[in-house]
A = this chain, B = another copy of it.
Amino acid sequence: MYRAPVDDIAFALNEVAGLRAAIDDGLFPELGTDLVDAILNEAGRFAGEEVAPLARIGDEKGAVLKDAAVTMPDGWKELYRRWVEGGWNGLSLPVDHGGQGLPGMLGVAALEMWNSASMAFGIGPILTMGAVDAIEKHASEELKALYLPKLVSGEWMGTMNLTEPQAGSDLNALRARAERAGDGTYRIFGQKIFITYGEHDFTDNIVHLVLARLPDAPPGTRGISLFLVPKFLPGENGAPGARNDVFCSSIEEKLGIHASPTCTMIYGDGFAKDREPGAVGWLIGEENRGLACMFTMMNNARLAVGMQGVAVAEAACQKATAYAQERRQGKAPGHDGEGMAPIILHPDVQRNLLTMKTLTATARLISYSCAHATDMARAKGGDDARHWQERANLLTPVAKAWSTDVGVDVASIGVQVHGGMGYVEETGAAALYRDARIAPIYEGTNGIQAIDLVTRKLPQSGGEHVLGYIAELRADAEAVRASNLPEFGRSGEKIAAALDELEAATRHMQGLLADGRMSDALAGATPYLRLFAIAAGAAYLGRGAVAAKAPDRIALCRFFCENFAGEAAALRERACEGAESLAQAAAALN
């Protein structure tokens, strides 16, 4: 059963990602490290004691659709109620609307815990937070007053309605349509698919944010508008009133996260019999400017999905380690006791567990650093804010893609450590392997993340931002080297060498973009992102090990450097020199 690694999380937040320094600088005046610890401990308790015990029934029973209503698995509604009562939904949401206004880093750390306990549970609030962001930044005061208090508390949940059958990664192809009703409201028509928590029995109302086109909208993404479409229209005092013309027509049978209802939503098909067809919606932001609003939702959601990767990896580590301590087979070096050795003493099993543990750690450190950047962008002003916003922009695709790839790989190794028992559903290792697989896909596939990183983030500030970031990481490599601790082995040199490769690849990519060689840049985007993550992850592990000077942290840093940092040269080659052979071989794909 999952136990939140509260000390590890606190260490990562404070000593690597920058929370302690920000607190010391007075950026979060109401926050001390004591309060941080208290929050993390309580979140950890709730995740381990309340959420985790319901993960199994969630996987086995799943969400069930009947007559357009989704019933959640036994105990889940009450679980959500208790979670809301604990104030967790509003942890890092704005104080103005009833939130606690704590730094996003804390929200992200707590999110990791909910998702380690159950990804199917943890994904729901991510959508609500996205809706809060979009409404807060772009909606009218009236809409804010009506919806934000309930969404911030968690009394209602939100959804994001982007995807249509023909429009997944490519939003140009959206067809859902909106008509002006003449009274300032709109009527929405169309079908949306893959809508996470599109329908459920957790809350009395569900607030759908829906992308659609007005009749006179220009084609492509410049003709998309964002609408707020509640399941129940606001009645007296804003309480849920008449049923809106939107309903869930089916839910997907998925590989994992069975308790998360993935809905096909039908807008404007006459579901509400007592009125003209057309789901009543309110515009968020300006007409035809919905894409910008949507990016507000998506950016934070991308980091949040990255946290799901960290979370499932952490859960898999814990489960595999516990099993390896328990299970005995064969003789192993260093086992002097009677009978068979715990398999955790076999070097090959240790390699698996250490691979899991260090990959998980790098994903966590990169993701928390990304959250920190967002917090700093909010807390600072002027040029500083711009700097930190660029940092958040830079790290978001890396946090999303690397963490979710790590989630899949670590969950897979976790099954392997369990041997035959891993393939049997009873142990839960297989469920993590099933759950993990969605995270590299949703909120923008990892291929899209890599393309975003290379084509939109490397050019920030004329290319200087990313180079400045790499320079900062070099200080970590140097600190490792300068520590003169023999336990590091050659970690400092290896981190520095990986950063050399990253810088070379970065300049190469920037050159391709400058030369308009877009296709070559796209061809190398995925290996470039992996190189970025390995180099940054190694540097962050070094930063933590230098700060802690603890043998365990030093050893984990060294293990990662010796087993992953060495890939950097090959990755640079793949990223920078592979376009020609890729194009050549692509002809063989028929």
A interface residues (Cβ-Cβ under 8 A, vs B)? 163, 166-170, 172-173, 193-194, 252-256, 321, 325, 328-330, 333, 340, 344, 346-354, 357-358, 408, 412, 415-416, 419-420, 422-426, 430, 433-434, 437-438, 440-442, 445-447, 450-451, 487, 489, 518-519, 522-523, 525-527, 551-553, 555-556, 558-559, 562-563, 566-567, 569-570, 573-574, 577-590
User: B579 to A347, Cβ gap below 8 A?
Assistant: yes
Extra inter-chain contacts (4) besides given A419-B441, A566-B574, CB under 8 Å: A347-B583, A347-B586, A415-B437, A552-B588
Known: A194-B420, A340-B170, A566-B573. A254 touches B425 (CB 8 A): yes
User: B563 to A578, Cβ gap below 8 A?
Assistant: yes
Chain B contacts for A590, CB-based, 8 A: 325
User: B489 to A580, Cβ gap below 8 A?
Assistant: yes
User: B354 to A585, Cβ gap below 8 A?
Assistant: yes
Chain B contacts for A425, CB-based, 8 A: 253-255
User: B419 to A169, Cβ gap below 8 A?
Assistant: yes
User: B570 to A566, Cβ gap below 8 A?
Assistant: yes
* 11 chain-A/chain-B pairs, Cβ below 8 angstroms: A163-B420, A169-B330, A254-B424, A346-B522, A348-B525, A354-B589, A416-B446, A551-B588, A559-B584, A563-B581, A569-B570
- Cα distance A467–B104 when bound, in Å? 57
Q: Look across to chain B and name the residue whose beta carbon is closest to the beta carbon of A566.
A: B570
Chain B contacts for A329, CB-based, 8 A: 167-170, 173
Q: Look across to chain B and name the residue whose beta carbon is closest to the beta carbon of A358.
A: B585
- Cα distance A406–B293 when bound, in Å? 41
Known: A333-B519, A526-B351. A357 touches B255 (CB 8 A): no
Chain B contacts for A163, CB-based, 8 A: 420
- Cα distance A545–B566 when bound, in Å? 30
**Residue among A253, A329, A573 with most chain B CB within 10 A:** A329
Chain B contacts for A420, CB-based, 8 A: 163, 168, 193-194, 441-442
Q: Look across to chain B and name the residue whose beta carbon is closest to the beta carbon of A521.
A: B347
Chain B contacts for A330, CB-based, 8 A: 169-170, 172
Chain B contacts for A583, CB-based, 8 A: 347, 350
